[in-house]
Structure 1
Amino acid sequence: MILRRLAKGLAGAVGSLVALLVLAVILTARPGDRALYPPKAAAQVIYVVSHGWHSGVALPTAALTGPGAGPALRDIAVRFRAYPTLEFGWGEARFYAATPTLAQFDWRLALDALFTPGGSDGVIQVVGLDADPRISFPRADILAVPVSAAGLERLVARLEASFARVDGHPVDVGPGLYGPSLFYRGAGRFSWTNVCNHWTAGLVNAAGLPVAPVIATLPGGLILDLEWRSGATAVP
Structure 2
Amino acid sequence: MPRRWRAARCGRESSSPTTRPVRSRRSRSWRPRPGGSRPTRTCGGSPGRPDLRRGLRLARRAAAVILFLVVAVAGILVPAAWLTARPGDPALYPPAPGDESVTVRLVAGAWHSGLLLPREALAQAAAEAGDGALIAVTERFGAYPALEIGWGDAGFYRAVPTIQALDWRLALKALFTPGGRPAVLHVVGVAAEPGAAFPGAGLVTLRLSRAGFRRLAAALAQSFATRDGHPVEAGPGLYGPSLFYAAQGRFSLLAVCNHWSAGLLDAAGLPTTPLLDILPQGLVRDLSWRAGAHAP
So what's the TM-score if we normalise by structure 2? 0.77
- List alignment gaps of at least 5 residues for structure 2: 1-56
CA distance in 2, matches of 1:214, 1:69: 34
Name the counterpart of 1:144.
Answer: 205
CA distance in 2, matches of 1:89, 1:75: 17
CA distance in 1, matches of 2:122, 2:290: 28
Name the counterpart of 1:20.
Answer: 76
Q: Which of the numbers 111, 129, 133 marks the counterpart of 2:194?
A: 133
CA distance in 2, matches of 1:136, 1:2: 53
Determine if contact 1:63/1:156 at 8 Å carries over to the other structure.
no
- List alignment gaps of at least 5 residues for structure 1: none
CA distance in 2, matches of 1:202, 1:155: 9
Q: Which of the numbers 84, 91, 100 marks the counterpart of 2:145?
A: 84
1:49 aligns with 2:107: yes
**Aligned-CA RMSD value:** 1.2
CA distance in 2, matches of 1:5, 1:55: 41
Determine if contact 1:69/1:157 at 8 Å carries over to the other structure.
no
Determine if contact 1:90/1:124 at 8 Å carries over to the other structure.
yes
Name the counterpart of 2:269.
Answer: 208
Q: Which of the numbers 59, 66, 71 marks the counterpart of 2:124?
A: 66
Aligned length in residues: 235
The range that moved more, 23-32 or 83-92, is 23-32
Amino acid at match of 2:121: A
So what's the TM-score if we normalise by structure 1? 0.96
Amino acid at match of 1:38: P
Determine if contact 1:69/1:156 at 8 Å carries over to the other structure.
no
**Aligned positions of 1:174-185 closer than 5 A:** 174-185=235-246
Could you tell me how far 1:136 is from its partner in structure 2?
0.6
CA distance in 2, matches of 1:144, 1:14: 34
1:187 aligns with 2:243: no
CA distance in 2, matches of 1:2, 1:97: 48
The range that moved more, 141-150 or 13-22, is 13-22
CA distance in 2, matches of 1:131, 1:53: 23
Percent identity of equivalent pairs: 52
Could you tell me how far 1:186 is from its partner in structure 2?
0.5
CA distance in 1, matches of 2:58, 2:203: 49
Name the counterpart of 1:221.
Answer: 282
Q: Secondary structure at the match of 2:250?
A: strand
With a CA cutoff of 8 Å and minimum separation of 6, indicate the structure with the bigger relative contact order: 1
Q: Which of the numbers 104, 107, 113 marks the counterpart of 2:165?
A: 104
Name the counterpart of 1:5.
Answer: 61
Change (3 A) 1:168 1:207: same
